[in-house]
Amino acid sequence: MNMDIFEKCFARSAKDEYRELGLFPYFRELQSRQDVEVIMEGRRRIMLGSNNYLGLTTNPEIIAAAHKALDEYGTGCSGSRLLNGTLVLHQIFEREMAEFLRKGDVATFPSGFQSNLGIISAIVGRGDYVICDRENHASIYDGCKLSYGKMLRYRHSNMEDLERCLKEVPEGKGCLVVTDGVFSMGGDIAKLPEIVALAKKYGARVMVDDAHALGIIGEGGRGTASYFGLEDEVDIYMGTFSKSLASLGGYMAADARVVDYVRCSSRPYIFAASVPPANIAIATASLRYMIAHPELPKKLLDISQYMRNRLLEGGLDIIMSETPIIPIYTYEPLRTLQIQNELYERGVYVNATLPPACAPTECLLRCSLMATHTKELIDEAVDIILDVFKGHKQ
């Protein structure tokens, strides 16, 4: 007789222990707009756990664009881009984003996660190799699994280990190096100049996931390649609508022939319904707003540095970066959950980072800021954070 496939569902796990202790940190119910202050489970909380980096989810111009799209195009496309699901709204966004990113063309996907699935699985074929930073986003890993190529991994931002992987690729085989531009957990920026140089040396192509870089770093928020002056050297950009663009969806930007190849061969692209009218209109309006307000990325980085300085002055151990992602070390899972829960009860929402997203002794509280945060709000939140940490010394 076969084992019951549901057995794993009923096996006791860490989540059961956390629930019993009243420390399960996920699926908190939000009862207001995604903003710097929210109502969550009936109480005001300072939001330090959102990826709404430019604060555009409540912007009146962008909300109006969504209403207009709903009125003109209805609620959904009811089909894939390949068939009946291509709207003029999709074409407008793709042209404007391609121009902004200075690439030949752009294709859109229903989500950022699906973008990585669709791009990597289409580009990396049987016999090809894909090389991946160990701390890349889960969607990159799943895109590698969905491809028919062989995946090699290198230690996080370790260029000697990347070169070791590149040397393993047999002569005559295709190779794609994929990296986050800004790493979602640590907030650090990829060593893109070194990655590009090594890829050129070994004849590989480079893809950068700019989900946490668009609207944040680079000229006018153009992302990691722009930040390093390497826009002509990176072959594929991937990005998402769900962060700086305040919507839901994703995109790839590349040479027009590469984009056309993905459009016509990527299963996650061909067999998925297209981005709904309101979502693509929001992304377009957010892109236009970002272009019209080039001061926003700097404002975001300035307020992030202000919080970083305050945490350092308070003696907290953080991962250093220059992005709006500020991870605070809490080390052990139970301690992490206790601190996160106490902060939540005192009106500050932050995200707990636990295994398998990190090593068991390197747990974090991941803070992420918005351009619309004020120094007053940051001061209020940091005062609470420092006070809570005093009661949980290592």
pLDDT at 249 over 90: yes
Q: What's the pLDDT at 359?
A: 84
Q: Do 288 and 299 have their domain in common?
A: no
The count of other CB atoms within 10 Å of the CB of residue 338 is 17
Q: What's the pLDDT at 393?
A: 76
Q: Do 173 and 316 have their domain in common?
A: no
Q: Is residue 2 part of a domain?
A: no
> How many CA atoms are closer than 13 Å to the CA of 270, on its beta-carbon side?
10
Q: How does residue 237 score in pLDDT terms, banded at 50, 70 and 90? A: very high
Q: What is the pLDDT of residues 180-216, one digit of tens each?
A: 999 999 999 999 999 999 999 999 999 999 999 999 9
Q: What is the pLDDT of residues 353-388, one digit of tens each?
A: 998 888 889 999 999 999 999 999 999 999 999 999
Split into its structural domains, the chain has a count of 2
Q: Do 302 and 233 have their domain in common?
A: no
CA terminus-to-terminus distance, the chain: 50
Last residue of some domain: 260, 292, 324? 292
Q: Is residue 235 part of a domain?
A: yes
- Residues 6 or more apart whose CB falls under 8 angstroms from that of 224 comprise 181, 182, 189, 190, 192, 208, 210, 213, 217, 218, 234
Q: Do 210 and 100 have their domain in common?
A: yes
Q: Do 249 and 334 have their domain in common?
A: no
Q: What's the pLDDT at 19?
A: 93
Among 212, 247, 286, 321, which one carries the catalytic annotation? 212
Q: Is residue 5 part of a domain?
A: no
What is the percentage of the chain residues whose pLDDT exceeds 70? 100
184 is catalytic: yes
Q: How far apart are CA 343 and CA 78, in angstroms?
A: 43
pLDDT at 68 over 90: yes
Q: Do 266 and 303 have their domain in common?
A: no
Q: Is residue 1 part of a domain?
A: no
Q: Is residue 243 part of a domain?
A: yes
pLDDT at 1 over 90: no
Q: What is the pLDDT of residues 100-142, one digit of tens each?
A: 999 999 999 999 999 999 999 999 999 999 999 999 999 999 9
Q: Is residue 111 part of a domain?
A: yes
| pTM assigned to the model | 0.95
Last residue of some domain: 275, 292, 309? 292
Q: Do 298 and 271 have their domain in common?
A: no
Q: Do 285 and 350 have their domain in common?
A: no
Give pairs for 387-391: CB < 8 Å, separation 24+: 388/339, 388/342, 388/343, 388/346, 389/314, 389/316, 389/339, 391/342
Q: What's the pLDDT at 357?
A: 81
Mean pLDDT of 75-84: 94
Contact between 284 and 128 (Cβ < 8 Å): no
Q: What's the pLDDT at 392?
A: 85
Q: Do 87 and 186 have their domain in common?
A: yes
Q: Do 202 and 325 have their domain in common?
A: no
Among 137, 243, 266, 373, which one carries the catalytic annotation? 243
Q: Do 355 and 332 have their domain in common?
A: yes
Among 50, 184, 247, 368, which one carries the catalytic annotation? 184
pLDDT at 394 over 70: no
- Nearest to 239, CA basis, from 334, 352, 111, 328: 111
Query: What CATH number should be reported for the domain holding residue 243?
Result: 3.40.640.10
Q: Is residue 6 part of a domain?
A: no
Mean pLDDT of 142-147: 96
Mean pLDDT of 304-333: 96
β-pairing, 250-254 with 105-109?
Answer: antiparallel
32 is catalytic: no
321 is catalytic: no
Q: Is residue 213 part of a domain?
A: yes
Q: How far apart are CA 339 and CA 301, in angstroms?
A: 26
Query: What CATH number should be reported for the domain holding residue 298?
Result: 3.90.1150.10
Q: What's the pLDDT at 287?
A: 98
Q: What is the pLDDT of residues 277-311, one digit of tens each?
A: 999 999 999 999 999 999 999 999 999 999 999 99
| The 3-state secondary structure of 111-136, one letter per residue | CHHHHHHHHHHHHCCCCCEEEEECCC
Q: Do 192 and 69 have their domain in common?
A: yes
For residue 343, give its domain range.
12-47+294-390
Q: What's the pLDDT at 57?
A: 97
Last residue of some domain: 247, 268, 292? 292
